[in-house]
Structure 1
C-alpha cells in the first residue's frame, strides 16, 4: 500500500495506530464536530424544515470528510473499509442484491423486536419524530430530491460511519482477539441507537437492534459495505414513501 507523502503526518499516523488515547480521540473529534455543527446552526433554521434537514445532512457529510482525512493520515484507503468503487459482474451484482435482501429482512425483524421489548416499558409503540421530513408530503419533486439525498447521506453515509468506521476503529482498541469484533459491533450499535434520540427511547432501542444486525453482517460478509448500503436504502425508501404519502 502506498502511503501518502509528507513526514509531518508520520508521528500522528504512528500514534493513531498504537496509542489508545489517539484512537479514542479520533472518534470523539469526528462526532464532536458533527454535533457542534448541528447545535450551532439549528437555531438559525427556525421553523424552516428544509434548512433543518440540510444542516443534519451537512453534518453527516462533514463526518464523511473527516473519516476520509483520518484514512489519509493513517495511510489507508476506502478499500480498507470494504468500500470499492469498481465495476461488478452480473453474477456479483446479483449476489450482492440477494444478500442485501436477507440483511434488510433480518434488520427489519430486529427493529420490530426492539418494539416488542420496549412496549412493556414505554407502552404502545410511539411514533418516531419524522417532522423534519414533513415538507415532502404531496410534493413529488422534493420527495425525489430528498430520497436521492437520503441515499447518499443516510444509506451510504451512515453505513460508512457507523459500521465501517466505528467497527474497524473500535476493534483496534486492544480488546482480546476473541472479543474485539463482538465488542465493536455492540458499541457501534449502541452509538447508532443513541444518535436517533429524537425517535424517543423505543426508537433508540429499535435502531440499536437494527445496528446489531447490520454490524454483524458487515463482518460476516467480509466488510462488503455495498450489501449494507443497499439494505439500508430499502429501509430508507419505505420510510420516505410513508412520509410522502402521509400528506
Structure 2
C-alpha cells in the first residue's frame, strides 16, 4: 500500500526508498529537534511549535515532488454524512482502546495525567480558548497529517512498499507518537498514546488515504473533551 502513481497527482514524483527515507528523517529531526530545543523555555508550546515547523518542512518536501497533502488523504469529503459517521465510529473505538490501554498500563506505571502542563486552563477562559486553538491545529490536523499521513506513507515507501512494510511503518509511527507524549505523561501516557497511534495508523492505511478527516475530527473531539473537563475542573 505504498504511495504509487495512482494515489499521487499527475506529474508528481514517486519517491524512491532512499528519497522517502531522507524525507522521513528530515521531518522527524525537525519534530524532535525543535521540541527539545524549546522545552527548557516552554513545556506548553514546545510541542505545537515543533509540529508547526515540521508541517512547513513536510509541505515543502511534498511540493518539491509535485505532490500535496491531498495525495495523502486531506480532501474535501464526497459525503459529510459518511465522514461524520466514520468519525463517530472511530471515536467509539478510540474510547475502548484508550480505556483498555490505560487499565493495562496502570498495572505497571503510575498515571501522572498531564503533570500540570495544562493547569493554566482550569477556570481560565483565555487559557481554555488558547488551548482549544492548539487542539484544532497542532492536536488534530497537524498530528494526524504528520504522524499518520506523512510518516506512515514515507516509512512504508522507505521499507519497500509491501503490506508488511505498511504494518511496520504503522508500528514505528505509533512508537514515535507514544514517545512524543512521554515528557509530560510519563510511561503510562506514552503507552496509551502509543496504542492510540497504532489504532489510528491502522485506520489510516485502511480508509484514511481516501479521506483523513474522520481521524482528524475524532482526534480533535477527544482532545476537546479533555481540555473542556480541565476548564470546568
TM-score range, shorter chain: 0.7 to 0.9
The structure 1 residue matched to 2:16, chosen from 15, 18, 31, is 18
Q: Which moved more, 1:137-146 or 1:173-182?
A: 173-182
Q: Is the 8 A contact 1:103 1:213 kept in 2?
A: no
- Mark the structure with the bigger radius of gyration: 1
Q: Is the 8 A contact 1:81 1:165 kept in 2?
A: yes
Partners of 2:103 and 2:119 lie apart in 1 by 27
How far 1:176 moved relative to its partner? 6.1
The structure 2 residue matched to 1:207, chosen from 182, 193, 197, is 193
Deviations 1:104-154 (A, max 9, x none): 1111211222223223322xx513224221112111132123202211111
Query: Does 2:20 align with 1:33?
Result: no
Query: Gaps spanning 5+ residues in structure 1: where?
Result: 5-12, 46-50
Aligned ranges for residues 117-128 of structure 1 at < 5 Å? 117-122=104-109, 125-128=110-113
Partners of 2:85 and 2:17 lie apart in 1 by 40
What's the Cα RMSD here?
A: 2.1
The structure 1 residue matched to 2:136, chosen from 151, 154, 160, is 151
Question: Could you tell me which residue of structure 2 aligns to residue 9 of structure 1?
Answer: none
How far 1:40 moved relative to its partner? 2.5
The structure 1 residue matched to 2:175, chosen from 190, 197, 208, is 190
Deviations 1:36-68 (A, max 9, x none): 22332333x3xxxxx542333121100111110
TM-score scaled by length of structure 2: 0.86
Question: Could you tell me which residue of structure 1 aligns to residue 59 of structure 2?
Answer: 68
Whose helix fraction is larger, Structure 1's or Structure 2's? 1
TM-score scaled by length of structure 1: 0.82
**Higher RCO, Cα 8 Å, sep 6+:** 2
Q: Is the 8 A contact 1:166 1:188 kept in 2?
A: yes
